[in-house]
Structure formats: structure tokens, C-alpha cells
Amino acid sequence: MSQAGQIVAEVMRSLKEVIRVGATTKEIERFADNQIRSLGGKSAFKGYRGYPSSICASINEEVVHGIPSSKKLREGDSISIDLGVLHNGFFGDAAYTFPVGKIDEETALLMKVTEEALYCGIDKAVVGNRVSDISHAIQQHAEQYGFSVVKTFVGHGIGRQLHEEPQVPNFGPPGQGPRLRQGMTLAIEPMVNAGTFEVKVLEDGWTAVTADGKRSAHFEHTVVIMPDRARILTKFN
Ligand code: MF3
Ligand code: CO
């Protein structure tokens, strides 16, 4: 899992080079897929429940599961890239919201707070806590700024499958759900909206957008539960 996570991290890091004004999400996908393969991995998403692409690329009000297309990125957009890799029988999964050129202040704050919320969740991902301690920390942090957390999509266990038990919601009271034990591997992935938490799925059957058209951000890491601090397997700079 560490190797799968490192491939995810390396590809995510390299995406900064291709995410710019004028690039299409299809070009970004092709670049990512080539990188994944050259590092010895395989996309975890292509073909998953019929999903047609190697990555998810969700722009602005798109929350998650955006399908790469010939649509060009514009100055001020925010783009969430979700990337899953299979390597030697194990999965890694991460997401990151990138700015395109210069973004407005509210978008910058939304992105910052969502990434912070992910780390608030990771802080609670330690031996002896319960799953919903992660959930609660994420929700608290995001709502403190007047943002809302998406409830329709949740984090998950990960390992030999992309999605395993338990579900890891981004909301809820603390102290509930399974006890966290050393070596458990989770994909923690807050999706935070600037406005309403409600989302709808477009006619393509995949792309989830905010119901009010305001922006959304998405950050995700695959982590291993340890006694003092979770180890992040998909960390990149
Ligand atoms: N990170 C998301 C998840 O774990 C992405 C899944 S995309 C899909 O659900 F295409 F594979 F569905
Ligand atoms: Co995931």
C-alpha cells in the first residue's frame, strides 16, 4: 500500500505542471494515466462501476466524479483531481483541489479550509479513537467558516479493494462507529461546499455538482492508523 500510495503522490505532484489556463481535463487525464503506467501502476477508477476515465476532474461547482473532457480550464477556476492507483494488488487514493491561475478570496479560503479539515480528521485517526471522531473533527472545522460538508459521498476503508469497510463520513457526532486499530488503512476525503451541502448528479450519471452552483473543494489521503499519528501514504509536496 505504501508503494501504491507513492505512485499516487508522485503523479499528483507532477500534475501541477499541466494544470494551467487552456489545458483540457482530457489532456490532464492522458498525462496522469501515462505517469501512473510509467511508475508501474494502473488506474483504480477506469472501469470501476463503469466509470469511463482514469481520473476524476471536477471544476468549480463540480463536487466529485467529473469526467475528463475537451473543456478548457480558465483563469480563476478550481479543479479537484481525484486519483486512485492499483499496484501489486493494493490500492492508493488521494484528491487535491488545484487553483488555475489567480483565484478569488472565497475560493482560496474554501480550498485552505477543506485541506485543513482533512488534516483535522487525520489528527483523530489514531489507535483507540472511533471512526466518527474523524468525521466530527472534519465537520467542525469546515462549518466553523460557514461552509458545509457533503453528506452523499464519504471516505472509506481501502486495501486490496478501492472501497472497503468502514465508511468514513465527513459529518456526525464523535465517539461512534468502529474502534480504530493499528494498521487499519482508510481513505479520508472531505468534500466541502461554499454554500449548501446538497448535491445533484448530472445526466452523464457521474458528475456531482452543488445544488446551488457555488464552489466545492475536495482533499483526500490514504492513511495507516498508528498509535500517535497516522502515517499518510499519499503525501506529496
Ligand atoms: N475517491 C473517490 C472515491 O473513493 C473516487 C472514486 S471515482 C470512481 O469514491 F470512478 F472510481 F468511482
Ligand atoms: Co476515495
Local confidence band at 92 (pLDDT 50, 70, 90 cut-offs): very high
Local confidence band at 139 (pLDDT 50, 70, 90 cut-offs): very high
Instruction: State in Å: Cα 56 to ligand 2 middle.
Output: 11
Nearest residue (by CA) to ligand 1, atom 2, is 82
For residue 67, give the ligand nearest its CA: 1
Flag whether 237 is in a domain. Answer: no
Question: Residues with Cβ within 6 A of ligand 1?
Answer: 45, 48-49, 51, 56, 65, 82, 93, 95, 156, 187, 189, 220
Looking at the structure of the chain, the number of domains it has is 1
Expressed as residue numbers, the domain containing 44 is 2-232
- Candidates 82, 78, 79, 65; CA nearest to 8 is 82
Say which CATH number the domain at 144 has.
3.90.230.10
Instruction: State in Å: Cα 35 to ligand 2 middle.
Output: 19
Q: Encode burial over 62-87: b for 16+ CB neighbours within 10 A, e otherwise.
A: bbbbbbbeeeebeeebbbbbbbbbbb
Residue 142: what residue type? A
Q: Whole-model pTM?
A: 0.98
Which residues lie below 8 Å from residue 223, measured CB to CB, with a gap of 6+?
A: 122, 125, 185, 186, 187, 188, 230, 231, 232, 233
Instruction: State in Å: Cα 206 to ligand 1 middle.
Output: 10
For residue 206, give the ligand nearest its CA: 1
Query: For 56-90, what is each residue's pLDDT tens digit?
Result: 999 999 999 999 999 999 999 999 999 999 999 99
**Strands, E, within the chain: which ranges?**
42-43, 56-59, 62-64, 78-87, 90-99, 148-149, 155-157, 164-168, 185-188, 191-193, 199-201, 208-210, 216-218, 221-224, 231-232
Flag whether 38 is in a domain. Answer: yes
